[in-house]
Amino acid sequence: MSAESTKTTTSHWGAFNVTTQGDRIVGVSHFEHDPNPSAIPSSLPAAVHHRTRVAKPSIRESWLKNGPLHKPSRVLRGTDKYIELPWDEALEIAANEITRVKEGHGNDAIYGGSYGWASAGRFHHALGQVHRFLNVTGGYVSSTASYSTAAAQAIIPHVLGMPFLKLMWGEINSWPMIAEHTETLVMFGGVNPKNSQVSMGGVTHHETAGWFEIFKKRGMRRINISPQRGDTPEGAEWLTIKPGTDTAMMLAIAYVLETEGLADQSFLNQYCTGYDKFKPYLTGVSDGVPKSPDWAAAICGVDAKVLYDLAFSMAQSRTLITVAWSLQRAEHGEQPYWMAATLAAMVGQIGLPGGGIGYGYGAIGGIGVSVKRMSGLTFPQLDNPVKKSIPVARIADMLLHPNEPFDFNGQSLHYPDIKLVYWSGGNPFHHHQDLKRLNHAWQQPDTIIVNEPWWTATAKRADIVFPATTSYERHDIGRAEGDSYLFDMPALILPVGEARDDYDIFRGIAKQMGLEEAFTEGRTSEDWLRHLYDNFRANAKQQSIDIPDYDELARQNWVDLPLRGAGFSKTPFADFRSNPDTAPLQTPSGKIEIYSETIASFNYADCPGHPTWLAPSEWLGAEIAKQYPLHLVSPQPGDKLHSQMECAIADVPGQRPAPVSLNPLDALSRNIKTGNVVRVFNDRGSCLARAEINSDIMPGVISLSTGAWYDPDAEGVDQQGNPNVLTKDVGTSRLGQGSSAHSCLVEVTLQKHE
């Protein structure tokens, strides 16, 4: 029997130790320097060696037999058999098909799909690999923004003059600054440590829960405004709010600030523009509806006196307003982000330590961490000759409506006519909305090619499937911009089955197309790792940061760089507050835009020129709530990242269908008990779930986490509990065109007793 060996590696959910025996992962353990390690890695051994691993290159039988132009056989995607082929033959077939589409329709008929979460490694990053390959072939239709933050990415540059990700990583209060200065922490959507388990590239120190313990000891007032108590660490005040109504609540607080003389008029005059155009709407002069606490209470369900008192508290203490990502994943999701910035401006503390506005705390790890940020170690994707792009959440629209027009952030565009989709790193049948509709859209292209370790719902709906390695079967370097650690990520086991690295898969296709040299530049994977690392090390040296050489890092396994500590904190917007003339924001006015002439010029009824309460089509105050009286929220799962390792979790008895949380009152009226299998449904679809009854979710709201692999039966009922069979596939607005997953009404009925 082979001896056991233990090494450290990293992942999007942090570092952990992996024990191997021969070519099997046999155990994992916590990284000793992580104060609050994630439990996610516990599923790793079972997932890596799971029966659902793609063993060999596989071609869908009907596609192979009838060819890519045979439309009737496309309906078999998801149910068809697969033929396993030798690598050389499968690579040649893929190369010929890409060439056919390229020569017959142009590269703007190719869509390059990836979602960036496949690996924390800097080189074996599926998104970078597939995009570089497609650029070498002549380009591809790309996507803009993300499912997580599309509405925010659209609105924030108009209001605060910088890209949303730059704001979130570089212009918000750090945890140490909040602990020292903030007196009132107002959290719209909460700050959930469950979500901060993960971050792009990894988070080695899981800090969020620990900071909330410090906040508690220091007597900070913490207010969780959410339909779920657990969206914030224990001990915060909980204000239950109807999902999708946060903008109305913010408007009511703003109304009190204005009418009670609490708004900081000096700040509004000096640092903002457009308050004079927003004020008539706020007070009701322009539409006859004062946005008072009484008005808001009827909408959001928060008592008017509570809103009144909260406004006074915010004005009279150092207040930080935070907004979760979840709020903008809804119809009109731009509005709460815009209104939160407006509310913070009225309080007048933007640019002061511990005050103002912050977005995304708790959404992922690394946000709020006091760390010196270093970029680098990025596999170059090269330039994309194709300039067509779509908002990422509009994939089904693109496939179903080729050549049709759509609006996006002031642009009038047309959807391309896609003939081939190449997906590497991601599972759209996890994160897209209205999966029945997506399934229909997925039948439109001639060909779908996927690199994937497991037979996910997306792989089962592809025509060509290449088995890809996991992070534990290849060598890489781990480094996250918001983290101080640098990791050598050793290949812990040999590739499972005939799996190959994405780089080698694309290299093989490129060779068949006569493009190998352009793709590889004559380098092997190891050559690229050394090349990228040496450049990173040289850049670090210029910043007086000492990093071990490539071989020494491999010997050490990991190193903690001197990049973390309170000394790296800075007060967000301090320069702007100090002198808005010499340090203006990159908005047209140079100021915070409470009213945006630019947005107003777009003439979007679903996103006017200032923050506005716009009722979504599905919320608890809608007419359709009489038929579907429960509002579904679909948060990120706590036991995995997106749908990764779901295959292993689903094998555990009692774990599937996925759990759905109901308030006791909603359960009682439906004769549902904990453990019952229930059917969750609306006009778009239905799924099974397993009831969990608790009082930490408000009446009228249910919670079903994302991540279950889409698995419909013959009648279309998903058997695993994927909420996206229920969610609505419409854009947040014509401005952002993001995901509206949280604007969703459903009903729940008892399916059977367990």
- In this structure, how many other beta carbons lie within 10 angstroms of the beta carbon of residue 253? 28
For residue 281, indicate whether it is catalytic: no
Name the catalytic one among 117, 281, 361, 528.
117
Q: Please tell me what DSSP assigns to residue 149.
A: T
DSSP-derived secondary structure for 648-705? HHHTSTT--SPEEEE-HHHHHHTT--TT-EEEEE-SS-EEEEEEEE-TTB-TTEEEE-
Beta bridge partner(s), residue 358: 322
Distances (CA, A) of 460 to 80, 288, 710: 8, 55, 10
**What are 425's two structure tokens?**
């790193």
Q: Directed axis angle between helix 334-347 and helix 246-259, to 10°?
A: 20
Q: Yes or no: say if 404 and 413 are a contact pair by the CB < 8 Å rule.
A: no
Q: Please tell me what DSSP assigns to residue 408.
A: E
In a 3-state reduction of DSSP, which class is residue 468? Answer: strand
Q: Scanning the structure block, which residue is given the tokens 């008029």?
A: 265
**What are 151's two structure tokens?**
């509405």
d(CA 327, CA 152): 10
Per this entry, what is the length of the chain?
A: 754
Name the catalytic one among 63, 82, 111, 115.
115
**What are 8's two structure tokens?**
């450290």
d(CA 256, CA 313): 11
**CB contact set of 122 (below 8 Å; sequence gap of 6+):** 201, 377, 378, 379, 476, 477, 478, 479, 532
Q: Yes or no: say if 680 and 748 are a contact pair by the CB < 8 Å rule.
A: yes
**CB contact set of 608 (below 8 Å; sequence gap of 6+):** 599, 600
Q: Scanning the structure block, which residue is given the tokens 């279309």?
A: 716
Specify the amino acid at residue 15: A
DSSP-derived secondary structure for 732-752? S-TTT----TT--EEEEEEEE
**CB contact set of 387 (below 8 Å; sequence gap of 6+):** none
Closest CA to 267 of 355, 160, 348, 354: 348
**CB contact set of 49 (below 8 Å; sequence gap of 6+):** 24, 25, 496
Q: Yes or no: say if 663 and 700 are a contact pair by the CB < 8 Å rule.
A: yes
Q: Yes or no: say if 299 and 248 are a contact pair by the CB < 8 Å rule.
A: yes
d(CA 669, CA 678): 14
Q: Yes or no: say if 184 and 314 are a contact pair by the CB < 8 Å rule.
A: yes
C-alpha of 498 from chain center: 31
For residue 117, indicate whether it is catalytic: yes
Q: Yes or no: say if 705 and 589 are a contact pair by the CB < 8 Å rule.
A: no
Q: Yes or no: say if 650 and 708 are a contact pair by the CB < 8 Å rule.
A: yes
d(CA 593, CA 341): 9
d(CA 138, CA 519): 12
Whether the bond between 86 and the residue before it is cis, its omega within 30 degrees of 0, is no
**What are 82's two structure tokens?**
């697969």
d(CA 184, CA 225): 13
Helix residue ranges, H only, 544-690: 550-556, 574-578, 597-602, 646-650, 664-669
Catalytic residues, by residue number, are 115, 117
